[in-house]
Amino acid sequence: MTTILYGSTTSPYVRRIRLLLEDSDYQFEPVNVYEQTARQAFSDISPIRKLPVLKIDDNVIYDSGVISQYWLMQAGADPLTVQQHNLISAVDAATDSLIIIMQSKNSGLTVDESKLFYDLQIGRVEACFDWLETQAEQGAFAQWDYPTIALLTLVGWVEFRQLRDLSVYPAIEAALAPFANRPSVLATVPQA
C-alpha cells in the first residue's frame, strides 16, 4: 500500500494530518500553493484545490476532516463524540476565519472591522478562542487526541504567522504544554 500526503509545511490542516499519521508509513509530498506551476499541478490531483490531500494507492481523499474521519475509522478508533466534534468545529472556524484575514492582507485588501465581512471573521476568531479557553480550563485537551491535535496545530500556525497574541489564553497554553516535545510535534513545526 502506497500512502502519499500532499500538503504544505505551514498549513495547520496539513500538520494535523501529519500528526494523526505519526506512527504510519507514508510519503509527504510538499505543495507550494504560492507558486503558479505547483498550484496548477496540484489542481490535477484535487479539483477542490485545498490542502491536504491523502492518496492511498488509487484512492484520493480530499479535506482534512474527511481524511481524519477515514483514518480514525481505519485505525479502529472510537467514533468522535459530539463534544469532540464541537471542539474541532470551533478550531476549524477560527482557522478558516484567520486564513481569510491573512489571505486578504496578502492580497492587499484592507481588513477593517467596519466592514461586516471582516467584523464577522474577527468576532468569530475571538468567540472561538474564548470558548476553547473555557474548554481547556475544563480539561477538554488533556489527552493526545484529534481535537487536541487540531488545537495544537492552530496555535502553532497562529504563532508562526504572528496573527494574534495568544498569551491571553493561559489555559490553552497549559493544556498543550505536555505535548510540545513529542517528536512528531517538533518535526512538523511550521517553517517558511
The domain that holds 48 is classified in CATH as 3.40.30.10
pLDDT digits (tens, 9 = 90+) for 47-88: 999 999 999 999 999 999 999 999 999 999 999 999 999 999
pLDDT in tens, 14-24: 999 999 999 99
C-alpha 174/C-alpha 155 separation (Å) is 12
Do the domain assignments include residue 192? no
pLDDT tens digits, one per residue of 159-184: 999 999 999 999 999 999 999 999 99
Positions of E strands within the chain? 3-7, 27-30, 53-56, 59-62
Chosen domain end from 74, 101, 132 = 74
Last residue of a domain, one of 74, 103, 132: 74
Q: Is the pLDDT of residue 33 over 90?
A: no
How far is C-alpha 32 from the chain's CA centre? 17
What mean pLDDT value characterizes the chain?
Answer: 96
The domain that contains 162 carries what CATH number?
1.20.1050.10
pLDDT of residue 116: 97
Identity at 185, one-letter amino acid code: V
29 and 59: one domain?
yes
Domain carrying residue 155: 82-187
* pLDDT on residue 36: 87
User: What does the DSSP 8-state code read for residue 22?
Assistant: T
pLDDT of residue 192: 74
